[in-house]
Structures are given as structure tokens and as C-alpha cells.
Structure 1
Amino acid sequence: MLDIKRIYLQAGAADLPRGREILDRWPAATIVDIESHQRIPEVYGAETNVRRWVRIKREALVVGIKKTMTARPNGRSADFIAPSTANGCAMACAYCYVPRHKGYSNPITVFANIERILSYTGKHAVRQGRKPEPNECDPKDWVYDIGENSDCSADALVSDNVRDLVDLFKGLPNAKASFATKYVNRDLLGWDPQKKTRIRFSLMPQADAKLLDIRTSPVGERIAAIDDFVAAGYEVHVNFSPVVVRDGWLDDWRDLLDQLDAGINAETRRQLATEIIFLTHNRGLHEVNLGWHPRAEDLLWRPELQQIKRSQNGDLNVRYRTGSKGGYVRALTDLIRARTPYLRIRYAF
């Protein structure tokens, strides 16, 4: 997954204990001093050359300092989005919306000022007090998403930031952490999360994943890991995301549900829930993908099925047409209730 040869180092990061730990982990890496962890000319460009992207993702690491601390309200997957301890990703999913400031290669950036992030997050949770009533995020705890712009399972290959967050939430009586992942990192099994961290394994039919989920753990490996993570003390949910509509899509989802059902035990079933998110795609990413992975766009860019929606930042996104999408959602949720009736649907859109 990672073979770090260059570390882009923001001024001041090496003076912090976590920054020094990261540098010591890859002592042979070339250090490149940078002013900002967001805009790095060397990782820009070559948008149509995925070989360069993958090489940068594997070989480059950015070590920065997070300046702005906020816990944004969310309200669907989590109550709050915690201040991130990383952004970027070692994987290269064809539909990923995250690449922005660092160019489409978007390697992992890890923040060295972890003590400040932990302090802010803990104090924010304490200020919330007891959760007054259950909601769709959780019946008891305030839920903090700790991996909005990265994959925490991969981030844990780089530093102890994710483990520090898991440890933090063990000590918070009113809050739990949550993150989605497409990578099986079994090192996390030894962390004793005490049910205060929710891992959401993202799943889709293998035929789609083979084409779209690039550099991720195979879907079968993710399913095979679920029971182990439940036994290790995690709350485990599954994300069906993104759901891609194509010929035969519902039949393949039926097969995936049967695979999931056969791969998990009774303890897992009792606590399992799902979030269902149908594909939203971006015109700019579509044009980039045409240069290196046009077969992915055969699934992702379907003008006959989609409508344009302008996002808050002005980007042109496409999603399945109003009316038709409602039928797709009902078809999948009906299938889930028929094949895996124990699988609680937290939300679907």
C-alpha cells in the first residue's frame, strides 16, 4: 500500500512529537520542505496519468499542521464531523469527490499536532453533555465522524493518530467515534475500542468494485473481517456506497446481500446497520477519468439516467433523476428487507 520515499514537511511539524515519530518511521525518505500542506506543486498536474497518481499515493506523504479546529454538525451519518487528523488517501476510487487542493493524486496528509486535535475534540464532546434523545445517528452517544476526508484504516499505517482518537473516545462517556473504510487493517483489532468506535465497511458488488474501487481491499475480504472487528470490540456497520445503477444491478446486489449474510455470525447480525448512498458524480472528475479510466465512466456517467445539480461550491454534479431515483431506492431497500431482514437501514438516499 505504501512505500514512502518523499515526505513533504510543513514548517514546524518536525518540532512536534508526532511529526518526529513519522519522520523516524521512514528515515531514508527525502524531506521536501513546504510552506503549506494544501498546495504542493509537485503533486499537481498529469490529471490523465493514473500511473503518476498511484506512484505519488504510494511514495509520497505530507506531514502538516492543522490550524482550524471545528466540529461541524452533520446529522445523518454522524452528529458531528470531528477535526480531521488526516486528509487524502492511499486508494484511488474512480468516484472519489475528495481530491481538491493537492491535485487528483491526493496522497495522505497527516497532521502532527495531534494533541491539539484531541484536546479540542474531547472538550467539544464534554460541552454537549448527555444526548437528550435518540436520533438516527445513535440512540445514546453523540457520534463524531473522524474520517470525512480520508480512510482511517489506511491512515493508521502512517501514524498513531487514529489509535489516539480511538483511545480518546473510550474515555468519553457520552460520545463515540465513527469512520468508513474500504481497507482491512487488522492491526486495529488489538486496540480494545470498547464499543466506542463504529467502523463502517463500505461494500458494493464485486463487479462494480473491481472497476471502481482501485487499490482497496477486495469486497470479500472486507466481509470476512466484519466478525473479527465485532469480536474485537468495535461496533460494525456497513455502507452500501455508492450504489451504481446499471443493467443487472439489482441482481448483483442480491448476490452481495447473500454473500454478506453467509459471511457473518449471529452476534454481528444483532448489531448490524447500513447506510445507503446512491451515486453522485462530478463533471470535472468525469472528464479526468475519461483520460485514464474511461470504462469506469461507462458506469458512472449515464446522462440518460441522471440530472445536473450545481453544488454549493459551483461544481456541476450529476445524480439519478428525481422520480426514477425513488424507485431505485425502494427496490434496493425492499431487497434488503427480504434477503437480510435483520439489517437495519439507518437511511437511504
Structure 2
Amino acid sequence: MTTTAAPVASATTAPLIDVSRIYAEPAALDLPRGREIAARWPDAEIVPVESHWRIPELHGDEANVRRWVRIKREALVLGVKKTLTVRPNGRSADFIAPSTANGCAMACAYCYVPRRKGYSNPITVFTNIDRIAGALHRHVGKQGRKPEPNQCDPHDWVYDIGENSDCSADALVSDNVHDLVDVFTTLDTAKASFATKYVNRELLDWEPQGRTRIRFSLMPAAMAKLTDIRTTPVPERIAAIDDFVAAGYEVHVNFSPVIVAPGWQEEWRQLFRQLADGIGPAAKAQLACEVIMLTHNAALHEVNLGWHPKAEEVLWQPGLQEPKRSENGAINVRYRVSEKRVHLQQLLAILAEELPFCRVRYAF
């Protein structure tokens, strides 16, 4: 297994992660990865829990809204991943890999992850990484070679390894992500993929050998400052792209989420221009993107009113939105279909003007 340095400070003034309490399933601490993680914070209080899903003082406690960011910085959960299912996807990736973590140290106001466990939802790390990696290896082996190109990739099967977390931030906590990046260097028919809003330059010292795709999520800087709490500033994300391409990663971008607010088209045009000016020929030659319009949720709206009501002024717009049942059965809200189609076409037209070299893999 690989070894990384201790957590470092983010682009914000306070450390992204400064763990003082570790909630741990006993089985998670019994594994080598669990012991490695606990050793990184020797002064942290260890709190035994029966299940990473049921921690009353973290999940489902309405009072935690007032401590939203503090919990994300100071609490860490260790669990064992019991379900190792690889799920088909077909949008961003061909398959969704079993999670090595869920939750996040960052606090984007629109994030869907807090809807699952409730409230702050700090990082939960799964310490049975050997079993997760083994399940992935077996699944890739059964697929054979990709028979034809699709929107995910023209040659390889793509596995999203960060559906429920941000892998760049997860790599501050454990070696799980590094281990999976290494696994995919041994697989000539598949590549890993994850989206991130955090620039973790420790990843530049890894050797991905072109088998990991990082998707930097971007939005206009002013909107990101309002809604992308505790993330790396957008200009720094753009500035990192060339370095990650040079380090052997495939780098794509996510224009996500697209939030409709006064002046939004011009703000996106300026972002596209910043991206065009901020990356070099090598990055441009391999660049592709995803475009994702905002989806929100009534329960998350109520939670956000308790800690970040300013963001809800742009996220919660009943006059523009309608209910939507997501693939997992949850009832969310999205922009009305007819208006969403118009907004999406407007954005794609601006994108084609400003970034003609950027292929759109999918947009919805």
C-alpha cells in the first residue's frame, strides 16, 4: 500500500481537515487502513459506533446545522463497505465503482450527498480497500474490451470512483484513492474517473499513466464564492489543469452546476474565456466537458436556510423550478423542462463560440 503525507491546509484560511474526533466501527479499526488513518491524528478522540450510517450526533440532528462547517473539519468516520456492487451508469462513466468514501470536507450548498445521511455529513472512509479494489479488478476483467465508442470514452471502460465524495479531499485522509489510481494503471481496458473542486497537489507525485481522468468542476467565480463553500477558488482550479495533464492525468472539466440568475450567460462566457487563456495546447488537445444544470431538493433547502440562507436566494427559485423524481427515487426540483432546454442551448452556443476545441461529452 502507498503512503501519503499528513493533511495539509486548503486554499482557505483554515485547514480543510483538522480531525479531533474519529467515529469508528470496530471492524474498520481492525483493518490496516483503519489503523493507518487513526495514527494520522493520534490526539483525536476515538468514538466506537455500531454503524457509520447511524451516528445520532452527526446524522439527523437538526442542531448540527449550526455546526455545519465545524463538523466537516473536525469529524471523521471510519466504516467497512459492505456492498461492493459495481453499477452501470452511462452518463459521466460507464460504471459507478463501489465507494471508498462518502461525505465531504467541503460544503457546497447544492450538494446532494447530505440528503442521504442528513445534515453535515463529514467524510466517511471505508477501510476495506483491498476488497473494494479486488471487486473492481474482477469487474473490469469480465468486461473484455469496449466494443464501440460512447460518450464516456472512445476506447476504455470508465469507472467513476468518487460518486459520493471528492477524491482529491479524500486523499488528504487516506491512501484509498492512491491505491485505486495504481490499480487502474494495471488495467489496459479501463480508466478511473472522478470530479473534484479541490486542488490537491500531492496527486501530482503519483503515476496515473493516463489511466485516471480528473474532472475539475468549474462555474463562474462569483457564483462559486457564494455556493462552493470551502473549495479551491475557481482560478486556482483552472491554473492546475496544465500541471495535472503534465503529470499523466487525463483532465476534463465539469461545467456544473449551471445556476440561472441575473447575468448568468455573460458570467459563463467570461469563465470560458478564462479557461481558454489559462491552459496550454496539451490540455486543450484532450479537453472534454460535461454540462449539468442545477438540481436542488426541498429538504436541503430547509437545511441551508439554517446555515447559508444567502445561497438559497439563487438555488431555490420556485418560479423557475418544478419537481423531478431522480433515478434513486428522491423527489428533487429542477428548472422547468421547456425553460431548461432554452437555457442549456444558450450555454452550449456560448461554449461553442468561446471554447471550440472543447468536446461536450454530455449535457443535461
* TM score, norm. by length of structure 2: 0.94
Q: Aligned runs of 1:162-181 on 2, under 5 Å? A: 162-181=177-196
Which residue number in structure 1 is paired with residue 36 of structure 2?
21
CA–CA separation in structure 2 for the residues paired with 1:313 and 1:178: 21
Contact 2:60 2:117 in 1 (8 A): no
Which residue number in structure 2 is paired with residue 261 of structure 1?
276
CA–CA separation in structure 2 for the residues paired with 1:315 and 1:336: 31
My pick for the range that moved more, 211-220 or 39-48, is: 39-48
Deviations 1:143-196 (A, max 9, x none): 000000000000000010000000000000100000000000000001010110
Contact 2:254 2:289 in 1 (8 A): yes
What amino acid does structure 1 have at the position aligned with 2:232? S
Identical columns (%): 70
Which residue number in structure 2 is paired with residue 55 of structure 1?
70
Which of 46, 51, 66 pairs up with 1:36?
51
Contact 1:195 1:235 in 2 (8 A): yes
CA shift, 1:314, in A, is 5.3
Contact 1:49 1:292 in 2 (8 A): no
Q: Aligned runs of 1:131-150 on 2, under 5 Å? A: 131-150=146-165
What amino acid does structure 1 have at the position aligned with 2:321? Q
What amino acid does structure 1 have at the position aligned with 2:227? L
Contact 1:226 1:236 in 2 (8 A): yes
Which residue number in structure 1 is paired with residue 257 of structure 2?
242
Distance 1:341 1:130, change over 3 A: same
Deviations 1:90-132 (A, max 9, x none): 0011001111453211000001100000001001001100001
| Residue 112 in structure 1 maps to residue 148 in structure 2 | no
Q: Aligned runs of 1:211-226 on 2, under 5 Å? A: 211-226=226-241
Q: Secondary structure at the match of 1:288?
A: helix
CA shift, 1:311, in A, is 3.7
What amino acid does structure 1 have at the position aligned with 2:361? R
CA shift, 1:47, in A, is 3.8
Which residue number in structure 1 is paired with residue 99 of structure 2?
84
* TM score, norm. by length of structure 1: 0.98
CA–CA separation in structure 2 for the residues paired with 1:17 and 1:48: 34
Q: Where does the alignment leave 5 or more consecutive residues of structure 2 unmatched?
A: 1-15
CA shift, 1:295, in A, is 1.4
CA shift, 1:297, in A, is 1.0
What amino acid does structure 2 have at the position aligned with 1:343? C
What amino acid does structure 2 have at the position aligned with 1:80? F
Which of 182, 186, 189 pairs up with 2:197?
182
Which residue number in structure 2 is paired with residue 272 of structure 1?
287
| Residue 299 in structure 1 maps to residue 314 in structure 2 | yes
CA–CA separation in structure 1 for the residues paired with 2:166 and 2:19: 17
Contact 1:3 1:58 in 2 (8 A): yes
What amino acid does structure 2 have at the position aligned with 1:138? D
CA shift, 1:41, in A, is 0.8
Q: Where does the alignment leave 5 or more consecutive residues of structure 1 unmatched?
A: none
My pick for the range that moved more, 181-190 or 102-111, is: 102-111
CA–CA separation in structure 2 for the residues paired with 1:213 and 1:189: 23
